[in-house]
Amino acid sequence: MTENYLLNYLNFYIRIILTFDRGVQDMVEDNLKKVLAEIKSSIQELDNQIKELKRDISKNSLVIGIMSGSLDRILGAFIIALGATAYDMEVHMFFTFWAIAALRDPNKKAKKDFMSKMFGWMLPKGSKKLPLSSMNMGGIGPKMIRGLMKKKGVMSLEEMIKQAGELGVNIHICEMSMDLMGFKPEEMIDYPGLDYVGVGTFIDLAHDAKQTIFL
C-alpha cells in the first residue's frame, strides 16, 4: 500500500512538471519504478534478517530434562527450577522414564492391563517413595535425608513441587514414556498446567532456551 501511494504521488508530480514532454516523463517513470523495486527488495531482505535474528535470540528460559527417578536428582532439579524463578526465568521441566514416578499420586488409581500393573508395582508410587541414587541402604537413606532436611529447615520435595506450581514452573511429561511404562494421566498429581508432550516439544523448548540441563 505504501509503495502504491509513493508511486501515485511521484506520477502526479511528474505530470505537473513534465506535461509538455511525454518521452521524458516515461523515462523518469521507468527509472523511478526500478528504484522503487530495489527499495522494496531491500526492505524485504531487511525484514527477513530481523525475523532471523529474532529466532536466534534465546529466551530467558531454563529447560530441565529429568530421566532419573532418584530422590536426590529430582530434589536437585526442583532446587534449580525454584532458583531460576528468582531470576525471572521461564522454567520448563520435562519428565521422562523413571522420573515420572515422582509425579504419581499415591491416593489415585487407574485402570491398567497386567503389564502396566507390573510396572506400577515395581516403580515408586509418588515422591515420598523415591530411592536415593546412592547410599539408599534399603530405604533408610531417603528417610535420613528427609529427616536432615527437616532439621535444617529445608523444604521437602513435596513442598518444592507445590511452590513450583505457585511460581509458574511448567511441568511436561513424556507421552511415549507414559505409554511404555504403563502410566496413566489419572494417577498423576494435581499440578497447574501439567501436560503430556512428545520429545519434539522438549527439543523446541531446549532450542529456544537460554540454558538446558539434563539429569
pTM: 0.73
Per the listing, cell 499415591 goes with 106
pLDDT at 21: 56
- Rg of the chain over CA atoms, in angstroms? 30
pLDDT tens digits, 145-164: 999 999 999 999 999 999 99
Which grid cell is 116? 502396566
pLDDT at 169: 97
Which grid cell is 44? 524485504
pLDDT tens digits, 8-34: 665 666 665 555 555 655 665 666 677
Helix axes 71-85, 140-151, angle to 10 degrees: 30
Query: What is the strand order of the sheet 61-66 is part of?
Result: 195-197, 170-174, 90-95, 61-66, 211-214
pLDDT at 110: 87
pLDDT at 48: 77
Residue 11: Cβ-neighbour burial (10 angstroms; 0-12, 13-18, 19+)? middle
pLDDT tens digits, 73-116: 999 999 999 999 999 999 999 999 999 999 999 999 888 888 88
Q: How far apart are CA 75 and CA 185, in angstroms?
A: 22
Which of 44-48, 191-195, 203-207 has the lowest average pLDDT?
A: 44-48
197 or 49, which is more confident: 197
Q: How far apart are CA 137 and CA 186, in angstroms?
A: 32
pLDDT tens digits, 34-85: 767 777 777 788 777 776 666 655 578 999 999 999 999 999 999 999 999 9
For 159, residues 6+ apart whose C-beta sits below 8 A from its C-beta are none
3-state SS, residue 184: coil
Own/partner pairs, 153-159, CB within 8 angstroms, 24+ separation: 157/71, 157/74, 157/75, 157/78, 157/102, 157/127, 157/128, 157/130, 158/127, 158/128
pLDDT at 189: 97
Which grid cell is 121? 508395582
Whether 201 shows a pLDDT value over 70: the answer reads yes
3-state SS, residue 87: coil
